[in-house]
A and B are shown apart, each in its own frame.
Chain A
Amino acid sequence: MLARADDAGSLRNWLIAADRGRHLHGLDASVTLADLAHGTSLGSRLPELAGRSVLVAAGDQLTAALALIELDGVARRLILCAPDLAVEHLPAVIADAEIDAIVTSGQLDASELGVRLHAVCHPAIAPMPEQPAGRQATEWVMFTSGTTGAPKMVVHTLAGLTGAIRRNAAHDGPVVWGTFYDIRRYGGLQIFFRAIIDGGSLVLSDANEAVADHLMRLGRHGVTHVSGTPSHWRRVTMSPSARAMKPRYVRLSGEIADQAILDHLASVYPDARIGHAYASTEAGVGFEVNDGLAGFPASMIGRLPSGVDMKVEQGTLCIRSNRTALRYVGGAEAALADAEGFVDTGDIVELRGGRYYFIGRSNGVINVGGLKVHPEEVEAVINLHPQVRMSLVRARRNPITGALVVADVVLRDEGVAGAGEVEQEILRLCRAGLTRHKVPSAIRFVPALAVATSGKLARSPA
């Protein structure tokens, strides 16, 4: 296993020579990154937070971003509160992560949480009155993106989190990142780091902003690099404002990027490089695929030039690298990696014609009379129909086979005439491309599908 070199320095160090043209753009406020190199958004509170285990529970992403820059290298541990963490889980989180300070944007009454130190962060940067003493390697704690039950937390280092980012790579002019992710999630945090470390700006998303408004704002800030999940991107392609931005690079991650969405994005953004990346909160950034095709070449199994090791065990992708999380927080969780240091991603892959394709999650399987169905593999076939915008395949309980496969489908043109014909065409596609038990027994046309705050399709537990 590779040594975990702490060569990343603290986040603030990356801003010391920052160009004044680099910014973090929130919905209502913007911050010039160079101001943060020697300024503070915490009033005079930063020295008090030194050496503490700090929960960053800001109401908005810009405040969270500022707090992360301020606290890295200062706090002992940073706990990045997920945007949708239910308040009832906070006491357990505070206990498990030994939290002794909270930073908010003033939106949360922290007095009843039993944490004495509460600092408020805001996007007005003032000169720093006093540098915090010393510098330490801060532990970064993130919530995994599982949607049910008590939240799980994993520990990362800044070196591990930023291990996939090239420093000062040559770019074709200034880089302005945009992401549909929330930066308090692994996928969004990666983009935040890219903007800070690789010398760009970042336009943050906001949960309360309509898709069209967000796209216009991305366009106004001149975004060049944009990232999101395939679900985010499907929603973008549904918007008449999709072409309000002209990205040079379009990046998909967090869900399976099927050929239909890759091809569709290539037609909407003909001048952009379109790539998909594999990463998870536990396994870290695995790899990028930039050949415009779904899946990844089988030759990537083994040791990659980046130092990431990959293997397929019982059909599941396993990853070992110095970018994986170190461990879970709290004693009850199983070990994160096996004895050899491999993290089981839970993502099932299938080898076809020299390429591995993702077919679903090991814990999302539908059982039809003892036969397994991965919802994602059925969705990939449905999504091939030119009229289909997106689809969600789910189980329907059945007294004979236990479950049947059914599909909710969003069409490109709402209220399209001849939906019955489209339904038959979709079923023909499914029958041609899937074994019988995987073919939906019913197709329901719906106006929209719910996307969770993680940016992934909201799936109910199988």
Chain B
Amino acid sequence: MTTKLTIMAEMQKIADEQAKKLAPLSDDLVLLDSGLDSLCFAVLVARLEDKLGLDPFTAADDVSFPVTLGDFVKVYERADA
């Protein structure tokens, strides 16, 4: 599974667990409008660390949290490169 698909699958799973309604996922979706709150994103980052073996937000000091889903995916793809 590509990084992008992994991220999208985890987002769906967390939305189900947390009883949140997830907005349709697209690259330009603003994360704050996705239906997930900060606790959901905290869980997402932790799960992705387990799945992908990396946490780009803790690994580097200068990574600011991305605004859109597309940016979020890029942070992981870049960290994995």
Contact B39 A436 (CB under 8 A): yes
> Please, how many residues of chain A have a CB less than 8 angstroms from a CB on the other chain?
15
A397–B18 Cα gap in the complex (Å)?
20
Question: Which stretch, B1-9, B21-29, B44-52, touches the partner chain A?
Answer: B44-52
Contact of A441 among B38, B43, B65 (CB under 8 A): B43
Q: Given A400-B57, A436-B39: A441 and B46 within 8 A (CB)?
A: yes
Shortest distance between the CB of A291 and any CB in chain B (Å): 37
Closest Cβ neighbor of B56 among chain A residues: A399
Contact of B47 among A399, A400, A401, A441 (CB under 8 A): A441
Shortest distance between the CB of A371 and any CB in chain B (Å): 9
Contact B39 A442 (CB under 8 A): no
A239 interface residue per 8 A CB criterion: no
Number of A-B contacts defined by CB within 8 Å: 39
Contact B39 A368 (CB under 8 A): yes
> Please, how many residues of chain B have a CB less than 8 angstroms from a CB on the other chain?
15
A369 interface residue per 8 A CB criterion: yes
A398 interface residue per 8 A CB criterion: yes
Contact B57 A404 (CB under 8 A): no
Shortest distance between the CB of A401 and any CB in chain B (Å): 4
A171–B55 Cα gap in the complex (Å)?
62
Q: Given A369-B38, A400-B38: A442 and B58 within 8 A (CB)?
A: no
B81 interface residue per 8 A CB criterion: no
Best-buried of B39, B50, B57, B65 by chain A (most CB within 10 Å): B39
The interface bits of chain A over 361-400 (1 if a CB of B lies within 8 angstroms of the residue's CB, else 0) are 0000000110000000000000000000000000011111
Contact A401 B38 (CB under 8 A): yes
Shortest distance between the CB of B33 and any CB in chain A (Å): 17
Shortest distance between the CB of B39 and any CB in chain A (Å): 6
Best-buried of A368, A400, A404, A436 by chain B (most CB within 10 Å): A400
A235 interface residue per 8 A CB criterion: no
Q: Given A369-B38, A436-B18, A442-B50: A404 and B58 within 8 A (CB)?
A: no
A437 interface residue per 8 A CB criterion: yes
Residues of A within 8 A of B39 (CB): 368-369, 401, 436-437
Task: Give the interface of A toward B (CB within 8 A).
Answer: 368-369, 396-401, 404, 427, 431, 436-437, 441-442
Q: What are 28 A-to-B residue pairs whose CB atoms are below 8 Å?
A: A368-B39, A368-B42, A369-B39, A369-B42, A396-B46, A397-B58, A398-B42, A398-B46, A399-B42, A399-B45, A399-B55, A399-B58, A400-B42, A400-B45, A400-B57, A401-B38, A401-B39, A401-B42, A427-B17, A431-B17, A436-B39, A437-B39, A441-B42, A441-B43, A441-B46, A441-B47, A442-B46, A442-B50
